[in-house]
Amino acid sequence: MFNAKELKEFLDEKVVQYNNKSFIDFDPIQIPHQFNLKEDIEISSFLIATLAWGQRKTIINKGKKLMELMGNSPFDFILNHQVNDLEKLQDFTHRTFNGIDCVFFIKSLHNLYTNHNGLENIFTVNQGDVNMHESIVNFRTLFFETEHWIRTRKHVSDPSTGAAAKRMHMFLRWMIRKDNNGVDFGLWKNIPMSKLSCPLDVHTGNVARSLGLINRKQNDIKTVLSLDEKLREFDPIDPVKYDFALFGLGAHEGFK
């Protein structure tokens, strides 16, 4: 269909088409965009990214509900909640994420911000030389050092077991990637965008295969690494910008 030069030009055009503020209106990233405090943005982003599977409209509605249960002040809630505050979260559900999971996430985030200097510090200190996969593994270890039900572990993917960790990579894109278009936040300054990986989901995977960017059928860590390699050939500084192109082509244009 395309040679390498044509494919890059095509994807660059699609990045421009989708990487703009109109994207926010239909994406779960709109929820952290309602906050100004850095910690509110990163905490809400982590929680919303955790819920990000299924229909986007449902994810957005559930995300708004969760923020309401936290008084629309997630950082203050994380630090200062009381036991009776957590009771309000017991009935929260989104697909397989339930009240037990939700309460644990709040307790774990409290631990991370009081004992590990917060989300940014954890990912910055543990960043890898080439990508963020090992950083996610290390984060997951710290996240689950708080007492928890085993069932909750499935809600934070583990690249060391082969998982693509789509939601974690999306969260990291939101936090680290910076440009002038106003979608991603670029709050974390000490991790280069070149280490980011594309959040691999059904849309991005299918489009990437159709365009010949990847060959493997599974959406797993090996496929993520393969896609990383291709996208970094197109832009070694900001490879994950092509997430906008791949997702937009699949979700909005039905590209196959």
Query: Taking the mean position of all CA atoms in its chain, how far away is CA 230?
Result: 20
Residue 254 clears pLDDT 80, i.e. is over it:
no
- 89 falls in which pLDDT band (50, 70, 90)? very high
Which runs of E-coded beta strand occur in 38-85?
A: none
Where are the domains positioned within the chain?
4-251
Rounded Cα distance between 59 and 140, Å, is: 23
pLDDT in tens, 14-71: 999 999 999 999 999 999 999 999 999 999 999 999 999 888 999 999 999 999 999 9
Residue 167 clears pLDDT 90, i.e. is over it:
yes
- 2 falls in which pLDDT band (50, 70, 90)? confident
- Please tell me whether residue 242 adopts helix, strand or coil conformation: helix
88-102, 177-191, 242-256: which range is least confident on average? 242-256
CB atoms under 10 Å from CB of 222, counted, come to 13
**146-173 burial code (b ≥16 CB/10 A, e <16):** eebeeebeebbbbbeeebbbbbbbbbbb
Residue 125 clears pLDDT 90, i.e. is over it:
yes
What integer pLDDT is reported at residue 52 of this predicted model? 94
Q: What is the pTM of this model?
A: 0.96
pLDDT in tens, 196-243: 999 999 999 999 999 999 999 999 999 999 999 999 999 999 999 999
Rounded Cα distance between 34 and 50, Å, is: 18
Q: What is the Cα gyration radius of the chain?
A: 18
HSE-up of residue 103 (Cα within 13 Å, Cβ side): 16
What integer pLDDT is reported at residue 133 of this predicted model? 96
What percentage of the chain has pLDDT greater than the value 90? 93
- Are 204 and 248 a contacting pair, CB within 8 Å? no
Residue 253 clears pLDDT 90, i.e. is over it:
no
CB atoms under 10 Å from CB of 116, counted, come to 15
